[in-house]
Amino acid sequence: MDRRICLYGLSFIQKLYAKSVRTKFSFSYGQIAEATILAMSLKLCLQLGEVVVIILKAEGIELEKEKPNTSEDFFNRSTVIYTLDGNEKQLNVLYVRFFDEKLSEVSPFNEDPLLDINDREVTFKDIVALVCLMQNPGNTEKKRIYINELKEMESLFKDVDPEQIKEIMTSLVTQGKCQL
């Protein structure tokens, strides 16, 4: 697939998303179909290596209360830092901490930590944003995602290959980066 088509698709999805956020604009079925086709072609481009995504960091933290009247201590934040065709970007996923307890129900993994690489434990919260990025190439245009429903987390991990995640995380820990 031509690299220009991939980049055009990414640009088109970015513009649609920006327009919807800015104006709360509803799209026609034609625009939705075009964006869907472009998103699918972008995913294919990523798989074929036409668009270069290099993962630089994937980590997660448990949020703590900053003020007594907030509910931050019920959430985790997963962050992935990556480059997309040379531009560094970051995706943060905020999700309900309860999903960590339902690990085997929402993901193909059975226990947390998922793996231990060079004395570094890789946990579920370390991979959530990475999986969001891998499963939906349109997420390259987002900075933040909020997941508060179990079904949404289940659908996110539906087709995830645990071995691929382990390979990516091993590469990140040992080499400091990994190309998707």
> What does each C-alpha distance from 51 to 60, 139, 152, 173 come to in angstroms?
26, 14, 27, 23
pLDDT (tens digit per residue) in 65-92: 777 766 666 889 999 999 987 789 999 9
**Residue 27 pLDDT more than 80?**
no
Q: How many residues does the chain have?
A: 180
The confidence band for 124, taking pLDDT boundaries of 50, 70 and 90, is very high
- The predicted-structure confidence for 10-24, as pLDDT tens digits, reads as follows 555 656 555 554 445
Report the share of the chain in percent with pLDDT over 90.
Answer: 28
Specify the pLDDT at position 56. Answer: 93
Q: For residue 122, is pLDDT > 70?
A: yes
Q: Which residues pair with 60 in a beta bridge?
A: 78
Check residue 84 and give its pLDDT: 85
pLDDT at 58 over 60: yes
What pLDDT does residue 139 have?
A: 87
What is the per-residue pLDDT for 52? 76
- Cα of first residue to Cα of last residue in the chain, in angstroms, is 17
